[in-house]
Amino acid sequence: MTHTYAPRHDQDAAILSDTPSAEADVPFTYRKIAPPRAALLPLELRVLAEGAALAAAWPALNRAPDGDGHGVVVVPGFTADDASMAPMRRFIANRGYVAHGWDNGRNMGATQANLDAVVAKLEAVADETGRKVSLIGWSLGGCFVREVARECPDLVRQVMTLGSPFQDVRANAISMMLQMFAPEDVIEDPEREKTLGSPIPVPSTAIFTPTDAIVAGDACRECPGGQRESIEVFASHMGLAYNPLVYFAIADRLAQAEKRWRHFEPPALLRQLYAVHK
């Protein structure tokens, strides 16, 4: 089966009147969200500490539940490539999943070619494993995987986004760079961006940080209800790809049996480090 990503502009996407039960239980209303303040930018230096914390926590993280062998595709954020997500893919593979990058070089914006590349990778991994695939996307990559899941729900097991501003893609500190590299942005289309945050027809977990200096944390949260959740962690935007709390949440989400999705419940020892919004 071959899918091609095709942006939808129909108003039904906002009303959700004809979508599966996983998504159609609350009306969606688009709202503008202010980008983060420039004064927060120095907080992104926390990524260095988060990388060190990941190395220290690696032995403990490797005691996370083993996987069932299904495929997982990890899509990098803006200007990043598969190398930036290598630690995450290694962790996922160590847990027993078939972990893949997007194999499409640097993510230089929301172009039609980039979205088609995610669809092609999804199809290839689904063919390889004979099963539905979990999609994980960091920042802009998370906006990609949500839209691909919307177009190809028959191939997607669940979606996880890491600091992805799908509720308002303009709520970021780098809009000028995005426009420079991808002037024909199919996500920041004036019509389409109003429905990007509408629920998707597969289980969805949005991991975000309220102290994000690149995108507004509120723009990265899922709509309440259904098979959706937002997991709040203390992290930098850059560090979401390396933060051990994020890795633990990913392992927990991936370990769920297919069609038995449940909301995240952190263990007692970690409960104070997460806030789960259902």
Domain that holds residue 210: 36-256+263-277
Average pLDDT over residues 83-101: 98
Q: Is residue 171 part of a domain?
A: yes
Structural domain tally of the chain? 1
Locus of tokens 């992104």: 44
Q: Is residue 3 part of a domain?
A: no
pLDDT score for 177: 59
Q: Is residue 199 part of a domain?
A: yes
pLDDT score for 10: 36
- Rounded CA separation 84/198 (Å): 28
| pTM: predicted TM-score of the whole model, two decimal places | 0.88
Residue 275 clears pLDDT 70, i.e. is over it = yes
The SS3 assignment for 206 reads strand
pLDDT score for 160: 99
Centroid of chain to Cα 28: 19
Q: Is residue 110 part of a domain?
A: yes
Q: What percent of the chain has pLDDT over 70?
A: 85
Q: Is residue 20 part of a domain?
A: no
pLDDT score for 29: 74
pLDDT score for 70: 98
Least confident stretch, 79-83, 180-184, 243-247: 180-184
- Please say whether the beta carbons of 35 and 173 come within 8 A: yes
pLDDT score for 174: 76
Who's near 233: CB < 8 A, 6+ residues apart?
A: 207, 208, 209, 240, 243, 245, 246, 249, 273, 274
Q: How confident is the model at residue 190 (pLDDT cuts 50, 70, 90)?
A: low
Least confident stretch, 27-31, 113-117, 180-184, 198-202: 180-184
Average pLDDT over residues 271-275: 97
Q: Is residue 82 part of a domain?
A: yes
Maximal CA-CA distance, the chain: 49
Residue 72's CATH number:
3.40.50.1820
pLDDT score for 7: 45
Average pLDDT over residues 73-93: 98
